[in-house]
Amino acid sequence: MSDMAKLELDGKTIELPIITGTENEKAIDIRALRAQTGYVTLDNGFMNTGSCESKITFLNGEKGILRYRGYPIEQIAEQSNFVEVAYLLNFGKLPNQKELDFFNEKIASFATLPEGITKIIDQFPTNSHPMGVVSAVTSSLSAFYPEFLKTPLTDVDRERAIAQLLAQVKIIAAYFYRRTVGKNPHRSHPSLGYASDFLNMMFYEEGYEVDPEVAKALDVLLMLHADHEQNCSTSAVRLIGSSQANIFATISGGIDALWGQLHGGANQRVLEMLEAIQEDGRGYKKFIEKAKDKNDSFRLMGFGHRVYKNFDPRAKIIKKACDTILERLNIQDPLLDIARGLEEEARKDSYFVDRNLYPNVDFYSGIIYKALGIPTNMFTVMFVLGRLPGWMAQWKEMREDPTLKISRPRQIYTGENLREFTNIADR
């Protein structure tokens, strides 16, 4: 098979290289297109455009495959833990015990927020959406760690910055949550382990003990959210990072992109949708019809995916985990039955079947977060905590690329042609 694509254009034949990935994905390399033809390509929403080559995560949307550095997500969820996954994504291999201990120590060295940061968090009204707080405060870290603003960052500083954000974003989230419930912050105890430390900071009170099963369920959710190749927020991180903005500004931009309801914000909207169905009391039909109605902006939140045209492998794992954790906590959540029924109903409906709309990672995750006691408006913050290592791994991979260029897409102009400016008296 030829490794060149031929393009007939204005009576000329242009040849463009074909690139083949390690999983046999194919791309036409159009880097020389404009110089050779004056043409650019146009692809609204980048549905057919590869933005980079990456060694971090592989997805196959048709087959519902997800792998982190080659390891299947099913094995990762079963056998690994979140900090180990963060190491794998960022450094390309599973750590041995010594490497993992050293990484954990580095994370633990950032277990206290700078005082100025806690003062900034204290300024936010307690009814602020936590995503806005976490994004703003993450960016504010740049004022307290000037060493991470140097460009280029040394490898040591880059690794320290990764450990610091892994340590501190979860503290920022828990600190603000405690303020919203009128409780004093509870300090981080990294020796508890990532998920247990977070739960402890969130819910600590006299006599509180983190349930290891609950911590394990959270750790699995964090692993499942850790990376997902060039999704919207990761693409935002790569775009911002390509200008050599500092890591705090870059990650803050990723948090903001994730907040959208079509992306990470969907997990909060799913729970609100399930509660609305419960409230309505007339079953799913009305909501299914609304989702199908082109004149209605309502969508079945947690359904559909740009890449997966099959079951999202993460949704399968989370759906199964729902049973385990609800049983463990002895919780009967009617919303789980509603979610299951909605999925069953939708999967029988040709509108959803014809469009390959399956539950995605956000459809069932909120049921578990709710069971763990996480408030609905913090569900997307949980997605941030999970995605953090993936964003940083993608940022690191991009910044380590010696051929890195600032991202600057082109456009096709469809506005007014040349016209003379007129004074206001003549308009």
Binding site for ligand SDX (CB under 6 A): 45, 228, 231, 262-264, 266, 291, 299-307, 355, 357, 360-362
Residue whose C-beta lies closest to ligand SDX: 304
- Complex with ligand SDX: residue 80 or 231, whichever CB lies closer: 231
Q: How far is the CB of 192 from ligand SDX (least distance, A)?
A: 27
- Complex with ligand SDX: residue 106 or 340, whichever CB lies closer: 340
User: Is 401 in the active site?
Assistant: no
Q: How far is the CB of 237 from ligand SDX (least distance, A)?
A: 11
- Complex with ligand SDX: residue 83 or 301, whichever CB lies closer: 301
User: Is 155 in the active site?
Assistant: no
Q: How far is the CB of 1 from ligand SDX (least distance, A)?
A: 29
- Complex with ligand SDX: residue 84 or 362, whichever CB lies closer: 362
Give the whole-angstrom CA distance, residue 198 versus residue 176: 12
Give the whole-angstrom CA distance, residue 158 versus residue 160: 5
Q: How far is the CB of 228 from ligand SDX (least distance, A)?
A: 3
| Identified catalytic residue from 186, 228, 263, 305 | 305
- Complex with ligand SDX: residue 242 or 268, whichever CB lies closer: 268
Q: How far is the CB of 263 from ligand SDX (least distance, A)?
A: 4
| Identified catalytic residue from 197, 227, 312, 362 | 362
Residues classed as catalytic: 305, 362
